[in-house]
Structure 1
Amino acid sequence: MNCTKWRFRRPAPETVISKDELAFRRPRVNGWSCPPGASQLVGWLVYGFLATISFGIHIPLLPRPWYHVAYATLGTVFIVHFFTHVAAVTVDPADASVRAKVNYSSPLPLFDRSKQPHVIKDQHCFLCDVQVGPRVKHCSSCNKCVEDFDHHCKWLNTCVGGRNYWLFFSALVSALVGVLLLFTLILFVFVQHIRDPHILRTAPQLGALPGNSTWLLFLPLAPIETSSAGLLTITFIALMLSTICLMLLCHLLCFHLFLFYKGISTFEYVKLKKQEKSRKQELECRNSKRPSKTPQNQENSIDCEPTKYPSSSNLVSKNPLTFRLSETLCSEMESFKKSVDNDKFRYGTENKTRGISMSVIQNWKASNEEDYPSGSGNSLPETQDPLGSSIMSPNRSSQ
């Protein structure tokens, strides 16, 4: 396991890369700078498609009381989203020192993460060569320092920072409201076309057509005839597309509301997740390197069960003294257990279960009498019974 796969983000580069080793590219001014992003183009195409089918196909099919309400409501929401979206793309989110110094017509060193993972040290950007604020990050896509950096939005094709964050949030909310209203409108048309198509044929141009098999699109300016199956196909495609957009926008809005609640930015959230993952990996590495039992403890361990260590030849070859000691202790313990089971607590020489025999006690008595004569005033210490049941005096041991 690679314990250093994820590393904590540091504010300074480990090595300074010379400008000869760097690629050069012009910094992006805003989201309109070339080249346009693929997600940006997809977003504008979806916006144009939903606006066309809602105002050109489905709203003209509504009954007359709801006809003007739908035009006014959806029209207002789509216009608000259009202007907030354009403003968020147009505003330059760069730091004030970068906007004052950097000439966007001249190229700057390109921020390459493979060569220079960190470019800001002591609030100084080595690529932009300016002093920046504490919440500034150099964006590798825009190749400039962004004030209060939140994230690089691929749908706007520009960075979202302190200068355009509320424009981005307003565009997000207006897009969600517009798609929700459009989803309701398209679902109503789809259901009514199946249940009772006469409710959708209130326009004067549709009243002149016989039956329900022929429909007109883009009323009232440029009516185009189509079949009932064609209208249902267009409505179903629009319904699926609006459902996908609704789920994506709901997810994005809930995520930013969560960031509001936590009081952090998107970039800080990503850093916290990386640091948490790095700590987990380091903890796993420490646990994997920790040994369960050292070989020294295994050699010094004594076990009387032969099934746990069936091969005693390894112990004899490594430490014969330890093996003999363990064998003696095991035999003494087994004989003591047998004597306990048979209730044979005799104190004579025939009792082989005692750890210390009576002859050893008498020898100990004789040696102590030589060391401590009776005239010296030091009494001979009492001897405890080997079984721990009583205290034996010298007179008793001679009996």
Structure 2
Amino acid sequence: MLADGLSLAKMNCFSRKLRRTAPELGSSKNELVPSKLPRINGWSWPLHGFQVVGWLVYIYLAIVSFGIYIPLLPPPWNHVVHALMGIIFILHFIAHIAALTIDPAEAGVRAKQSYSSPVPLFDRSKQSHVIQDLHCYLCNIRVGPKVKHCAACNKCVDGFDHHCKWLNTCVGGRNYWCFFVALTSATLGVLLLAIVILFIFIQHYLDPNCLRTAPQYAGIQGNTTWLVFLPLAPVKTSSAGLLIVAFGTLMLSITCLMMFAHLMAFHFYLFYKGISTYDHIKMRRSKESNIEAGKPPDVKTNNKAPKFLQT
């Protein structure tokens, strides 16, 4: 009887000890939440839809640029634009691949994390923030003042600027300049292509013969038959088909140009202010919070980010 009582007491004691290891609901920085593997870089699955669209647009513009419209330019401009566009496309490709491939994670994460062990997820409904006193409780590392834990990549990123859906990875201190070079080259590329197509549009009606200088046009009569994919694999097409593709490509180029120019202007503004995209968002949210609270927009209540932006 006494032995049974002692056994029961031990079981109760161990049960209470086990229950104490679990934090109370929504109370602590160590709240147990579901886990997932952190993303290494932009090649990590699943790929984002924007990332796939971006590559399809890049491939399409490369095909129509070098296969259809640049060969129609009169010499020596066809050679000049070929060289310029080639440099721009290659530069963009290299910078884009570098921005995708470089792991922007904080040095402690890269040194400690093998990317084979799941990391707890950041759940804002249960945790106000995961970095406190320069320590991330999800990555379990000491971090610097410019580190943010990205919820999408589920890891700490040094010099965090933003999470880019087009790259499918974070843009941070390690890959920011690759991102900026890719953005700049993309802007220059679509601008140059738009100028080329506009020139071809105008010359098609004013003087189409200046666009038909390739030797393959020597045996073609009339202005309604055009050649694409010169000079290696010429394919005949109609004047209407050439202009329809040109119009669609021009609309796509202008759309991309507006997006890229707006993004470039924004990042030049960030350079001027000496802040990151994330800093800009925090200040804007803080300003909106002050306005909602009836305070002047320029009044700073504290230096802490709004709760929904804290890391």
TM-score by length of 1: 0.66
Counterparts of 1:34-49 in structure 2, within 5 Å, are: 34-49=45-60
The Cα shift of 1:122 comes to 0.4
Asked if the contact 2:29/2:129 (under 8 Å) is kept, the reply is no
Residue 28 of structure 2: which of 4, 11, 16 is its match? 16
Alignment partners' CA distance in 2, 1:271 and 1:150: 12
Instruction: Please say which of residues 138-147 and 111-120 is displaced more in the overlay.
Output: 111-120
Aligned to 2:152: 141
| C-alpha separation in 2, matches of 1:252 and 1:278 | 25
The alpha-carbon deviation at position 25 of structure 1 amounts to 0.8
Of the three residues 161, 175, 192, the one matched with 2:203 is 192
Alignment root-mean-square deviation, CA: 1.3
Tell me if the contact between 2:65 and 2:193 (Cα under 8 Å) persists in the aligned partners. yes
- Mapping of residues 115-130 of structure 1, within 5 Å: 115-130=126-141
- Cα distance, 1:115 vs. partner? 2.7
Match of 1:239 in 2: 250
Residue aligned with 2:105, SS:
coil
Partners of 1:65 and 1:162 lie apart in 2 by 42
SS in 2 for 1:82: helix
Partners of 2:88 and 2:271 lie apart in 1 by 24
Displacement of 1:247 in angstroms is 0.7
**Aligned residue type for 2:99:** A
Cα distance per residue 1:362-385 (max 9 Å; x no partner): xxxxxxxxxxxxxxxxxxxxxxxx
* Residue ranges of structure 1 left out of the alignment (5+ in a row): 1-13, 285-399
Q: Is 1:259 aligned with 2:261?
A: no
- State the 1:18 CA deviation: 5.2
Matched, 1:153 2:164: yes
- Higher-Rg member (1/2): 1
Say whether 1:207 aligns with 2:218.
Answer: yes
Q: What are the superposed Cα offsets for residues 135-165 of structure 1, whole Å, 9 maximum, x if unpaired?
A: 1000000000000111001111110111111
Distance 2:100 2:107 in 1: 18
Deviation string 1:324-365 (CA, Å, 9 cap, x unpaired) is xxxxxxxxxxxxxxxxxxxxxxxxxxxxxxxxxxxxxxxxxx
1:306 match: none
Distance 1:151 1:35 in 2: 19
Determine the structure 1 residue equivalent to 2:22: none
Cα contact 2:187–2:261 (8 A) shared by 1: yes
Q: Give me the whole-angstrom Cα distance separating, in 2, the residues matched to 1:249 and 1:120.
A: 33
Aligned to 2:17: none
Task: Indicate the residue corresponding to 1:218 in structure 2.
Answer: 229
> Is 1:114 aligned to 2:145, yes or no?
no
Aligned to 2:111: 100
Match of 2:59, as an amino acid?
Answer: G
Work out the CA distance in 2 between the residues paired with 1:106 and 1:120. 20
Deviations 1:249-298 (A, max 9, x none): 110000000011111110010000001100111117xxxxxxxxxxxxxx
Aligned partners of 1:208, 1:116: CA distance in 2, in Å? 74
State yes or no: 1:179 paired with 2:190.
yes
SS in 1 for 2:76: helix
Partner SS, residue 113 of structure 1: coil
Q: In the TM superposition, what whole-angstrom CA distance separates every residue of 1:88-119 from its partner, at most 9, and x where no partner exists?
A: 11100000011111120111112223332411
Does the Cα contact within 8 Å between 1:19 and 1:109 map onto a contact in 2? Answer: no
2: distance between equivalents of 1:28 and 1:258?
A: 30
Q: Distance in 2 between matches of 1:138 and 1:18?
A: 15
- Cα distance in 2 for residues equivalent to 1:238 and 1:62: 17
3-state secondary structure, aligned to 1:31:
coil
Task: Output the CA distance in 1 between the equivalents of 2:177 and 2:110.
Answer: 20
Corresponding position: 1:250 with 2:258: no
Counterpart CA distance in 1 for 2:266 and 2:142 is: 32
The structure 1 residue matched to 2:286, chosen from 264, 269, 275, is: 275
2:74 aligned with 1:74: no
SS of 1:134's partner is coil
Name the aligned partner's letter for residue 177 of structure 1. Answer: L
Paired-residue identity, %: 60
Amino acid of the structure 2 residue aligned with 1:34? W
| Counterpart selection for 1:31 from 7, 23, 42 | 42
TM-score by length of 2: 0.84
- SS of the equivalent of 1:283 reads coil
State the number of aligned residues: 270
The structure with higher relative contact order (CA 8 Å, sep 6+) is: 2
1:64 partner SS: coil
Q: What's the offset of the Cα at 1:15?
A: 2.7
Q: Would you say 1:163 and 2:174 are equivalent positions?
A: yes
How far residue 19 of structure 1 moved from its aligned partner, in angstroms, is 5.4
